[in-house]
Protein backbone atom coordinates (compact mmCIF):
# COMPACT_ATOMS: atom_id res chain seq x y z
CA UNK A 1 0.00 0.00 0.00
CA UNK A 2 1.19 3.50 -0.76
CA UNK A 3 0.55 6.25 1.78
CA UNK A 4 0.17 9.92 1.05
CA UNK A 5 2.93 12.14 2.48
CA UNK A 6 2.68 15.94 2.38
CA UNK A 7 4.87 18.78 3.48
CA UNK A 8 3.15 21.01 6.02
CA UNK A 9 2.15 24.34 4.46
CA UNK A 10 2.01 27.51 6.57
CA UNK A 11 -0.70 30.14 6.27
CA UNK A 12 1.79 32.18 4.22
CA UNK A 13 2.09 29.25 1.79
CA UNK A 14 5.61 28.36 2.93
CA UNK A 15 6.79 24.76 3.18
CA UNK A 16 9.28 24.83 6.10
CA UNK A 17 10.39 21.18 5.93
CA UNK A 18 10.79 21.26 2.17
CA UNK A 19 12.73 24.53 2.41
CA UNK A 20 14.97 23.05 5.13
CA UNK A 21 15.93 19.92 3.21
CA UNK A 22 16.44 21.78 -0.08
CA UNK A 23 19.17 23.87 1.60
CA UNK A 24 21.18 20.76 2.53
CA UNK A 25 23.93 19.32 0.36
CA UNK A 26 22.76 17.07 -2.45
CA UNK A 27 23.77 13.65 -0.99
CA UNK A 28 21.97 14.39 2.29
CA UNK A 29 18.97 15.81 0.42
CA UNK A 30 18.71 12.60 -1.63
CA UNK A 31 19.06 10.45 1.50
CA UNK A 32 16.21 12.35 3.19
CA UNK A 33 13.98 11.86 0.15
CA UNK A 34 14.66 8.10 0.34
CA UNK A 35 13.65 8.11 4.02
CA UNK A 36 10.45 10.01 3.17
CA UNK A 37 9.75 7.31 0.57
CA UNK A 38 10.03 4.74 3.38
CA UNK A 39 7.07 6.44 5.09
CA UNK A 40 5.20 6.56 1.78
CA UNK A 41 5.77 2.85 1.15
CA UNK A 42 5.60 1.43 4.68
CA UNK A 43 3.42 3.83 6.68
CA UNK A 44 2.88 2.57 10.22
CA UNK A 45 4.90 -0.59 9.52
CA UNK A 46 8.09 1.49 9.54
CA UNK A 47 9.92 0.87 12.82
CA UNK A 48 13.17 1.86 14.56
CA UNK A 49 15.83 2.77 13.67
CA UNK A 50 14.01 4.78 10.97
CA UNK A 51 11.23 6.20 13.13
CA UNK A 52 10.48 6.72 16.78
CA UNK A 53 7.18 7.63 18.40
CA UNK A 54 7.53 10.84 20.40
CA UNK A 55 4.00 10.97 21.82
CA UNK A 56 0.46 10.20 20.70
CA UNK A 57 0.11 11.26 17.09
CA UNK A 58 3.71 12.49 16.71
CA UNK A 59 6.71 10.59 15.33
CA UNK A 60 10.23 11.47 14.28
CA UNK A 61 11.90 10.31 11.10
CA UNK A 62 15.52 9.66 12.06
CA UNK A 63 18.06 10.35 9.35
CA UNK A 64 21.42 9.23 10.71
CA UNK A 65 24.95 9.83 9.54
CA UNK A 66 27.65 12.44 9.93
CA UNK A 67 24.88 15.04 10.20
CA UNK A 68 21.78 13.77 11.96
CA UNK A 69 18.46 15.16 10.80
CA UNK A 70 15.09 14.73 12.46
CA UNK A 71 11.76 15.29 10.74
CA UNK A 72 8.79 15.40 13.07
CA UNK A 73 5.60 14.21 11.44
CA UNK A 74 1.99 13.42 12.20
CA UNK A 75 -0.88 11.47 10.68
CA UNK A 76 -4.16 13.28 10.04
CA UNK A 77 -7.04 12.54 7.64
CA UNK A 78 -5.15 9.54 6.22
CA UNK A 79 -2.13 11.69 5.30
CA UNK A 80 1.33 11.82 6.84
CA UNK A 81 2.29 15.48 7.33
CA UNK A 82 5.95 16.45 7.65
CA UNK A 83 5.70 19.20 10.26
CA UNK A 84 9.21 20.26 11.25
CA UNK A 85 12.84 19.40 10.47
CA UNK A 86 16.05 20.21 12.29
CA UNK A 87 19.65 19.12 12.76
CA UNK A 88 19.95 16.94 15.85
CA UNK A 89 22.64 18.15 18.23
CA UNK A 90 21.54 16.72 21.59
CA UNK A 91 20.27 13.40 22.89
CA UNK A 92 16.72 14.65 23.45
CA UNK A 93 14.55 16.67 21.11
CA UNK A 94 14.77 20.30 22.24
CA UNK A 95 11.44 21.59 23.55
CA UNK A 96 11.61 24.47 21.07
CA UNK A 97 11.70 22.04 18.13
CA UNK A 98 8.87 19.91 19.52
CA UNK A 99 6.81 23.01 20.25
CA UNK A 100 7.10 24.17 16.64
CA UNK A 101 5.89 20.78 15.41
CA UNK A 102 2.99 20.71 17.89
CA UNK A 103 1.89 24.21 16.88
CA UNK A 104 1.90 23.17 13.23
CA UNK A 105 -0.05 20.03 14.06
CA UNK A 106 -2.72 22.17 15.76
CA UNK A 107 -3.06 24.16 12.54
CA UNK A 108 -4.00 20.94 10.73
CA UNK A 109 -6.75 20.01 13.17
The domain tally of the chain equals 1
Average pLDDT score over residue span 18-24:
98
Prior bond to 22 cis, omega within 30? no
Question: pTM to 2 decimals?
Answer: 0.95
49-90 pLDDT, tens digit per residue, is 999 999 999 999 999 999 999 999 999 999 999 999 999 998
pLDDT of residue 102: 97
Q: How confident is the model at residue 1 (pLDDT cuts 50, 70, 90)?
A: confident
Range of the domain at 20: 4-108
The CATH number of the domain holding residue 43 is 3.30.2310.20
Amino acid sequence: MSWQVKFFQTKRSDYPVKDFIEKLDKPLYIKILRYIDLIRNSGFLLKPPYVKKIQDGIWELRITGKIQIRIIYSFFNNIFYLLHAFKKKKQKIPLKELSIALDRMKELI
